[in-house]
Amino acid sequence: MMLKTLLLHRTTTIHSLRCKFNTIPHREMTTGTQSIVSRLKSSGLLQTKGLIGGKWTDAYDGRTIEVNNPASGEVIASVACMGEKETKDAISSAYEAFGHWSKLTGSERSNRLRSWYNLLMEHKEELGELITLEQGKPLKEAIGEVGYGASFLEFFAEEAKRVYGDIIPSTLPDRRVLVIKQPVGVVAAITPWNFPLAMITRKVGPALACGCTVVIKPSEFTPLTALAAAELALQSGIPPGVLNVVMGDAPKIGNSLLESTQVRKITFTGSTAVGKKLMAGAAETVKKVSLELGGNAPCIVFDDADLEVALKGTLATKFRNSGQTCVCANRILVQEGIYEKFTSAFSNAVKDLKVGNGFSEGVVQGPLINEAAVQKVESFVQDAISKGAKVLAGGKRHSLGFTFYEPTIIGDVKNDMLIARQEVFGPVAPIIRFKTEEEAIQIANDTNAGLAAYLFTNSIKRSWRVSETLEYGIVGVNEGLVSTEVAPFGGYKQSGLGREGSKYGLDEYTEIKYICMGNLG
């Protein structure tokens, strides 16, 4: 009961009555979209059912959810809208498959993961098209996500062979102290829509590498990429039941995953609000928890920065995926000596960013995910203007209408404005002026979030000093793009728990077992 109360909020408000919850008006497909969709269908990559125990499965009550192209509202597919029963069956399949999968050697699991990686790379273009169709990001960026997403499978295929233990010198002569790492068991992976592929592989790669099996619940906005990836996993020889996918009624699926004693780990990327609910829910069965939650990234440009490097880095971190990433700069702090120069060059650069449908040539800014996202951006901008901030570029919905918003720069922002307190998750760059390094650090750390931070300076001493003082899990120094499979990704404070990617990412899916061998004398 308690879990139900904790997670009730979204059940009643959004998902439960109708399996239809997108906020953009639905339209029929244009012929251009139809031809992409039919190509994807004939390649076998357009799957619309859930995957349970290796079988493509309809929702037991036959319900479906429409998936929209956020750039146009076109309905591109209808997928199974699942709930408790399907989730329970997916958990049972994963639990059963664990027995076999966890006993394979690291090298056998590595081979399967490597084949999956190869298949994702072979289908890079089609998967990219699928991402652009359901998520909106420009095709080039979408294909880039496929490479980035696949890199986690390659990396963890290699790491599968290196899940080392320890032998600890004993305090007694006739005793040996051994430590081995074992897979935690069935993993529930709940993922968001902003990186429909990479947020899955970043979790499933390490989980599978060390012998766990998984139930994935992708975002209902972007289930098609997850299903295509699952199809390629099957083709790569990953046995039935090792990887299952259910989607539909998020809180019902979430509750079933939380309540199950067979699910031993929950890994989530998404909003801080949902992450907190999942963490509270996981307490009932004391599951291992990893959370990648919201950020409020400061990007600090010091007077001594290289202007070109700072501009390039800030543009990249702010406007990637139209500002819809949790490591996007959310507050740009600029020192007073470089403020005018930086803001004017930044505003000019932003005016050149081409906005449009992600399939159109030269477009670098796609739509936002839905109408609610645009409304949120609008309200944050209005709040800032009403409190004295100034629009330096953009500042309103794009003339393309629909879910498009102009790349925007707002100057004279103060750290207590809504736009600096919460993640805007859109193409809006708020600029805060500061005088001293101490002031910049104080502003940067004045938030409950602590995921990524950036600083631009030519002083090596300042780089160290500021990096070590920022209360953030990731710091980019003279660099705006920091994500890579080889580095640990994760946040301080309310931005989450645990790390993804790198050798540290593997530990999130293992239990440590201490074996004491006594009386050996």
Residues that bind ligand ADP (CB under 6 A): 7, 10, 190-193, 217, 219-220, 250-251, 254, 270-271, 274, 277
- Give whichever of 181 and 277 is closer to ligand ADP, judged by the CB atom: 277
Given a contact cutoff of 8 angstroms between Cβ atoms, the answer to whether 475 and 492 are in contact is: no
Let me know if 210 is a catalytic residue: no
**Cβ neighbours of residue 451 under 8 Å, at least 6 residues apart?**
292, 293, 294, 295, 296, 297, 326, 327, 472, 473, 474, 490, 491, 492, 495, 496
Residue 503: exposure state from Cβ atoms within 10 A (0-12, 13-18, ≥19): middle
CB of 199 to ligand ADP, least distance (A): 9
**What are the structure tokens assigned to 76, written together?**
């591109």
Q: Which of 69, 57, 423, 58 is nearest to 221 (CA)?
A: 69
Residue nearest to ligand ADP (CB): 254
**CA dist 125 → 133, 135, 142, 260 (Å):** 12, 15, 9, 38
**Cβ neighbours of residue 375 under 8 Å, at least 6 residues apart?**
none
- Give whichever of 211 and 295 is closer to ligand ADP, judged by the CB atom: 295
Let me know if 479 is a catalytic residue: no
DSSP string, 179-205: EEEEE--EEEEE--SSSTTHHHHHHHH
Given a contact cutoff of 8 angstroms between Cβ atoms, the answer to whether 180 and 207 are in contact is: no
The whole-angstrom separation of Cα 215 and Cα 195 is: 18
The gap between the terminal CA atoms of the chain, to the nearest Å, is: 54
- Give whichever of 160 and 224 is closer to ligand ADP, judged by the CB atom: 224
CB of 478 to ligand ADP, least distance (A): 29
The whole-angstrom separation of Cα 1 and Cα 376 is: 33
Tell me which of 145, 292, 406, 485 is the catalytic residue.
292
Going by the DSSP 8-state scheme, the letter that residue 435 receives in this structure is: S
- Give whichever of 279 and 389 is closer to ligand ADP, judged by the CB atom: 279
CB of 501 to ligand ADP, least distance (A): 19
- Give whichever of 215 and 393 is closer to ligand ADP, judged by the CB atom: 215
Tell me which of 326, 406, 437, 485 is the catalytic residue.
326
CB of 231 to ligand ADP, least distance (A): 19
CB of 327 to ligand ADP, least distance (A): 14
CB of 294 to ligand ADP, least distance (A): 8
- Give whichever of 207 and 392 is closer to ligand ADP, judged by the CB atom: 207
> How many other C-beta atoms lie within 10 A of the C-beta of residue 256?
26
The catalytic site residues sit at: 292, 326
